Homo-oligomer: A and B are copies of this chain.
Amino acid sequence: MAGNTFGRLLRLTSFGESHGPGVGGVLDGCPPGLELCEADLQEELDLRKPGQGPTATKRREADRVRLLSGVFEGRATGTPIAFYVVNEDQRSGDYGDLAELFRPGHADWTYYKKFCEIRDHRGGGRASGRETLARVAAGAIAKKILSRHGVAVHAACLELGGVAAPADAVGPENLAQAFRRPYFAPSEAMVALWNKRVEEARAAHDTLGGIVLVVAQNVPVGLGEPVFDKLEAVLAHAVMSVGAVKGVEVGEGFAAARLTGSQNNDELLPGGTFASNHAGGILGGISSGQDIVLRAAVKPIASIPKKQRTVDTMGRPREIIVGGRHDLSAIPRVIPVLSAMTALVLADAMLLQCRMDAAS
């Protein structure tokens, strides 16, 4: 109920604050027998590590994950898999004056009001992007479950600071290789353009948002539930639960609002195929076997080194310049998180559907 657990049969409970002892999670419901080790989680975590690339903060942590339970002799036992990452580089001093001031665009003020004026203000506390470590670690396990069924989840940046990649830059191979490029860019050409855009923003003491594409390939038909837990509803929940995301769409998404029925329908062809994929792989809330295609809108990072108006805990007007070590765009670090959340939803939906097939 308190918002720190996600999933149904595959269920992640997350804990930890930015400047507390550490962050971690418990993933319950992993099928027994799955081959798993710390390196599987570390590999995904390394993709979201701070201190990488042109948009990065200077905060550097090893972010070494440790498995605390649920794995025996290299395989999941079916019991809860707990994992933990120690917070190593916590310069709380950087955040000293934030005990009294609310940063615009952050959760500071709303947490303060929600939690009866008690909060761990250091670095955003629980609202810090550091909680996404648990999502990515759990997502790594979800991806291993999915890969046993041949399902792959890819993600890339489509647009940064208003500079969009051309549609033809986002083909299947470009997508699969995006995680190797800065910004998870679909091509080297985009890296150059986005470097330029980032330099402009840095010079202007400002930050940038963007749009992320997530594609899941080889998804079996039948995932998702009718009515309230349609696959796209649960995906939207998952994706919008990531800090900076303010919009999500599936298939044609907002563009579908401008198409006619005859343009937007995907005709069925023999062999379980379709003439097009405007639906983004989901029909009536259930996966159709086509690629699942979703996009998320990521807002610009709220921490800007510019003077802004705000108030303090006494309600008095103040001004603030947010110091600390901050990224210029959330895009590079949010992409592995969106990929992880998508994997968690699909693995969970797959476990639910396996059960129905087996019971019927």
* Segment at the B interface, from A39-47, A119-127, A174-182, A183-191: A119-127
Q: Is A210 an interface residue (CB 8 A)?
A: yes
| A and B contact pairs by CB, cutoff 8 A, 17 listed | A2-B29, A2-B78, A2-B79, A4-B228, A14-B80, A104-B267, A113-B222, A114-B286, A161-B258, A162-B257, A235-B240, A247-B256, A256-B297, A261-B301, A265-B304, A270-B315, A352-B355
A238 CA to B233 CA, complexed, in Å: 7
Check if B264 sits within 8 Å of A105, measured CB to CB: yes
Q: Contact between A253 and B247 (Cβ–Cβ < 8 Å)?
A: yes
Residues of B within 8 A of A243 (CB): 284
Residue-wise interface mask of A (251-273) relative to B, using a CB-CB cutoff of 8 A (1 in contact, 0 not): 11111111111111111111110
Looking at the assembled complex, report how far the CB atom of A167 sits from the nearest CB atom of chain B, in whole angstroms. 16
Q: How far is the CA of A247 from the CA of B127 in the complex (A)?
A: 25
A102 in contact (CB, < 8 A): yes
| Chain B residues with CB below 8 A from A80, complex form | 2, 4, 13-16
Task: Report Cα–Cα, A271/B314, bound state, in Å.
Answer: 10
- The answer to whether the Cβ of A283 comes within 8 Å of any Cβ in the partner chain is yes
Closest to A121 in B: B72
Interchain CB contact under 8 A, B28 and A209:
no
Residue contact B226 to A126, C-beta cutoff 8 Å: yes
Identity of the chain B residue whose Cβ is nearest the Cβ of A299 in the assembled complex? B256
Contact with B along A102-132 (1 / 0, CB 8 A): 1011111111011110111000011100010
Task: Judge whether A249 is part of the interface by a CB distance below 8 angstroms.
Answer: yes
CB pair B300 A355 closer than 8 Å? no
B28 touching A259 by the CB < 8 A rule?
no
| Residues on the B chain within 8 Å of A114, using CB | 78, 221-222, 224, 286, 353, 356
Q: Are A285 and B241 in contact (CB under 8 A)?
A: yes
Residues on B with C-beta less than 8 A from A247 are 247-250, 253-254, 256-257
CA of A288 to CA of B315, assembled, Å: 15
CA of A151 to CA of B109, assembled, Å: 21
B265 & A241 in contact (Cβ 8 Å cutoff): no
Chain B residue nearest in CB terms to A209:
B257
B32 near A115 with CB under 8 A, answer yes
Please report which residues of chain A, range 277-314, place their CB below 8 angstroms from some CB of chain B when the two chains form the complex.
279-280, 283-288, 297-304, 306, 308-311
